[in-house]
A and B are shown apart, each in its own frame.
Chain A
Amino acid sequence: MAIDTLPPKADTTSEDTPSADWDGLAAELAAQPAADTAVESGEQTAEVPESRLGAFLRSMADRADIKSVARKAKREQRRENWAQFKESSTEAWSEAADAVKEGARRVGGLAKNAAIITIGMGVLGAKKGSEIATHGYQSGKLAIESAKVAIAEAHSSTKESVKARIDSFRARRDAAKERKAKRRETREQMRKDQEAQRQKIQEQIARRRAQEAEARRQQQEAAKAARDAERAARSQERKEKINAIKRLIGAKALAIVTGIESTAKQAVDAANDKKEQLLTAANGYREALARRSKEALGKARDIGAAARAAGEAAIKTYREQRLYQQNPAEKHSLTIQQQARLARARKKERTSPAAKRLRRK
């Protein structure tokens, strides 16, 4: 992990920030008390220990303060000279000269003292400055140490802050996972409930369908039973009707057969009568034939043939009627031709001369 946001790492080894001159200066200041003492005691300037600082201060005093004092003294001297010159006397000149000398001496002393004082003040200032610098240096060192500590603390704080945030992300992740698992569990439970509900509904539907199917089956069975009963009733009714018809038909058939038999018997009788008549006639015709022409003989033959046909038809009808009497249900088994023949025979029977005779009787 790179912590780019932190300031560049401070060079904590750069303790030379105050520069090496300060160390030298401090060393000089440490050796300074002896010189200070010498200055303060009013000793000659030459007796002040030579140092770069001393030389510098002295040079400055020479160039500034001493010159200023000298100029002042010079102006004073010129004024005094000018005053004494105005008096214009030799004594005055001598005194003036003495005065000038004295003034010069005094000015020199003053200048010297001023220089010494200036130097002393400079030394004191330098000492004070050195102390201030030393103090500043110490303060700087402390500040650097403090900054280093602050940077380290900031670094540590940043690390701790990042760690805290990472822990926060992890905590949120764990909480989110728990919520997700709970959601999934809830959803799963809901699906199970829905599935159970669906199965329950399906079972209810299946039960209802089974009940409906059973009801339909029972209904169908009942309907079938009703139909069977109705069919049986109809069948029974039909049987009864059939039996009634049979009975009716049987009675009718019996009557018919009886009638037929009677008619047939009558027909046979009639045929026999006719035969007898025809035989008689035939005999007569035969006799006549013998006496008369072939034509009469042919006529007799035709009559005989007709009689024979009538007899055969009567016998056939009788048989059919007999057959019908024996099995009336087989009525419909008769062919159309048989039925037609039967009808014709009946009609013929009804319209035959024998039947007419019977009805007349």
Chain B
Amino acid sequence: MNFSITIQDLAAMGISLPADTADQTLEEFNAELDERIGIAVAEMLDDEQLEQMTRLQKAGDDAALTQWLADALPDIAEIISDERDILLGEIADRADEF
């Protein structure tokens, strides 16, 4: 499942970005999305779980981190999808400004 914001998502809102700024704008949207997902995930974890996650992040084992997140937050996919929908909704509100 793709959790990134794509040019097709923007086109569906009638947003046509100039070719020279499209990539940068998409990158900014996705960076914002990553930040929101991080905050949402952190909100759902208690202090002990946060420490465990931080240790796994520092260890650099992405597979272990992914498995750990799936175990700690069974609804992680829904959390990420909701954050994406919320951000897309906010972009849709401002579609006329683009």
Question: Which residues of chain A have a CB within 8 Å of any CB of chain B?
Answer: 1-5, 158-159, 162, 165-166, 169-170, 172-177, 179-180, 183-184, 187, 191
Contacts and interface: CB of A to CB of B under 8 A. Distances in A.
B13 A184 contact: no
Contact of A176 (B81, B95, B96): B81
Contacts of A159: 14
Interface of B: 12-16, 40, 43-44, 46, 75, 78-79, 81-86, 88-93, 95-96, 98
Given A169-B85, A173-B85, 18 more contacts: A1-B14, A1-B16, A1-B95, A1-B98, A3-B16, A159-B14, A166-B13, A166-B14, A170-B89, A170-B92, A172-B88, A173-B88, A174-B89, A176-B81, A176-B83, A176-B85, A177-B86, A183-B44
A165 B12 contact: yes
* Residue from the set A159, A165, A174, A184 with the largest chain B CB neighbour count within 10 Å: A165
Nearest to B87: A173
Given A1-B98, A165-B12, A166-B14, A183 B79 contact: yes
Main secondary structure of the interface of A (DSSP, over half): helix
Contacts of B91: 169
A204 to B, nearest CB: 22
Nearest to A180: B82
Contacts of A191: 46
B88 A184 contact: no
A172 B93 CA distance: 12
B77 to A, nearest CB: 12
Nearest to A5: B16
Please name the 8 residue pairs, one residue from A and one from B, whose CB atoms are nearest each other, closest first. Answer: A173-B89, A162-B14, A176-B82, A176-B85, A169-B92, A172-B85, A166-B92, A165-B12
Given A170-B93, A173-B92, A1 B15 contact: yes
B9 to A, nearest CB: 8
Contacts of A173: 85-86, 88-90, 92
Given A1-B95, A1-B96, A179 B90 contact: no
A1 B90 CA distance: 16
A176 B14 contact: no
A69 B40 CA distance: 99
21 contacts: A3-B16, A4-B16, A162-B14, A165-B12, A165-B13, A165-B14, A169-B85, A169-B88, A169-B89, A169-B91, A172-B85, A173-B88, A173-B89, A175-B85, A176-B81, A176-B89, A180-B79, A180-B86, A183-B75, A183-B78, A184-B43
A187 B41 CA distance: 12
